Structure 1
Amino acid sequence: MITVIVAAHNSEHTLGAALTALVPAAIDGIVRQVIVVDGGSTDQTAKIADLAGADFISNAPGRGRQFAQGAARARFPWLLFLSADTVLAEGWERSATAFMRSVDLGERSPAAAAFAFRIDDNGFRPRLLERLFQMRCKLSPMPYADQGLLISRQLFDAVGGYQDLPVLEDVDLARRLGRRRLAMLDAHAIASSELYRRDGYLSRSLRNQICHALFGLGLPIKVIARLYRADAAS
């Protein structure tokens, strides 16, 4: 049984689709609780969450902080973390259930899982980006928040959960889990293309990779955050 934790911020245009994708699994009893943790929205995010029957928590912005707050309210043994602009593809619950069963029955060692990356845009550039994500995940399964994260409560607590970082909280948690405790599911998480279209696919991708490399080298996270969000100042 899963608690889904959704980090939102001014997400009125995407949250409805993200929550709708959870409905079949909720009907089947797989998803038992949905928590939307909001980072100070000024739009209709709260109303959409309420209409969907989700628990709603108001918090300060910061995805790591929001995810941690949602996890603190979770009532079920598996946690699924999603961004409000990520929509799980039809049938995702079958892959998730098979993975959870294998862990619960001891058929595999405790691990977390992420979904295959897809982006909601047409053309050569989004397909190339998807292919690059696929290659990266095969070489090093270190998923990003756009791919969701399915993890047992026990393992989540054991590795220390999400930290209150301004950026790269997903990479930080993935590093603490390590490659051996990360798996890729065959179902897709469909991410918003808004940032890529706004900043440019090449520019956004390069910026992301530079930030990840600097994080691995131990550069202070506040410095990395300024580079990651450089577009906000322009």
Structure 2
Amino acid sequence: MRAPITVIIPTLDAERVLPATMSALMEGLEAGLIRELVLSDGGSMDTTPDLADAAGAVWITGPRSRGGQLRRGAEVARGDWLLFLRAGMVLHPGWAKEMRAAISEPGAYYFYLRLGGRGAWPKLRAGWANLRARVFGLAYGNQGLLIDIATYGTTGGFADAPRFEDVAMARALSGRLRSLPVTAETQARGSAAVVRHDASALRLVWRRFQVMLSSDPRARAETLPH
């Protein structure tokens, strides 16, 4: 029986963070879950291609655009299930057992986010992300995505966009995303892009909250994302 999962990771100069991600995937290889690893690159100038070659990964290149890279990775995937991760994301031990149970039927799953780093800020951000995903179904890229190929096809695939491709996917999977008891850990970042991303998430949450409170079907139809 063929292994069911294609792992897809978009990369760009990821030599420092990629080894930890690939090391955590060994659990899935040993469990017979991972069919292939696809690294979809956006123009790395470091040793990322060498890491891909050493790991026996499928290596594809194209314009720098995380959404486009994810999309191209899915297009070459041969697995019945797609596991989208980010470079630097580390799945905690035990993930293979949970995924094996999950793939018994079609679906889309996200993981519990843990952010590494000092101070309270990473914990607050991770707590907010996990709450947002659980209550509003808005799980984003740093929470991973495990999805069967048929369900992925119904979304139209990832948008070819440099940012917020995960926001669009979460909206496309509205009402269908479920949590999986798997922890995905990554390092916290404190950039302006992160702030913009969280602001976008907050706007979507507010829209969902308005929908929940509205008693007018027409208002709900206008407010729901398309």
TM-score range for the pair, normalised by the shorter chain length: 0.7 to 0.9
Among 144, 148, 159, the alignment partner of 1:152 is: 148
Structure 1: distance between partners of 2:9 and 2:179:
20
Which whole-Å CA distance do the structure 1 matches of 2:197 and 2:184 have between them?
Answer: 19
Is contact 2:74–2:82 with CA below 8 Å preserved after alignment?
yes
TM-score with structure 1 setting the length: 0.81
Cα offset for 1:75?
0.7
* Rounded Cα–Cα distance in structure 2 between residues aligned with 1:116 and 1:95: 12
- Amino acid of the structure 2 residue aligned with 1:209: D
Deviation at 1:30, TM superposition (A): 0.3
Partner of 1:208: 197
Match of 1:133 in 2: 129
TM-score (norm 2): 0.84
| Of 86, 93, 108, the match for 1:90 | 93
State the partner residue of 1:27: 30
Match of 2:21 in 1: 18
Which amino acid counterpart does residue 179 of structure 2 have in structure 1?
M
**Structure 1 match to 2:71:** 68
Instruction: Identify if the C-alpha distance between structure 1 residues 147 and 46 changes in structure 2 by more than 3 Å, giving closer, same or farther.
Output: same
Separation in 2, partners of 1:134, 1:172: 18
Alignment pair present for 1:188 and 2:191? no
Aligned-partner SS, 1:83: coil
For the 8 Å contact 1:141–1:184, the answer to whether it is kept is: no
Q: CA RMSD of the aligned region, Å?
A: 1.9
Identify the match of residue 43 of structure 1 among 46, 57, 77.
46
Could you say which residue in structure 2 is the equivalent of 1:106?
none
Deviation at 1:134, TM superposition (A): 2.2
Alpha carbons of structure 1 residues 204 and 40: separation in structure 2 relative to 1, 3 Å: closer
Match of 1:223 in 2: none
Q: Which amino acid aligns with 2:186?
A: A
CA distance, structure 2, for counterparts of residue 127 and residue 71 of structure 1: 32
Q: In percent, how many aligned pairs have the same letter?
A: 34
CA deviation profile, 1:190-212 (whole Å, cap 9, x unmatched): 1222x22xx3xxx6654323234
Ranges in structure 2 where 5+ consecutive residues have no aligned partner: 207-226
Question: 2:42 touches 2:69 (CA, 8 Å); kept in 1?
Answer: yes
After superposition, what is the alpha-carbon deviation per residue over 1:117-140, rounded to whole angstroms, capped at 9, x for unaligned? 011213322122222222212211
Which of 4, 9, 13 in structure 1 is aligned with 2:12? 9
Please give the secondary structure, in 2, of the residue aligned with 1:128.
Answer: helix
Give 1:153 deviation, angstroms: 0.4
Q: Is the 8 A contact 1:6 1:37 kept in 2?
A: yes
Query: Aligned residues, how many?
Result: 203
In 1, the alpha carbon distance for the partners of 2:134 and 2:153 equals 26
Give 1:111 shift. 2.4
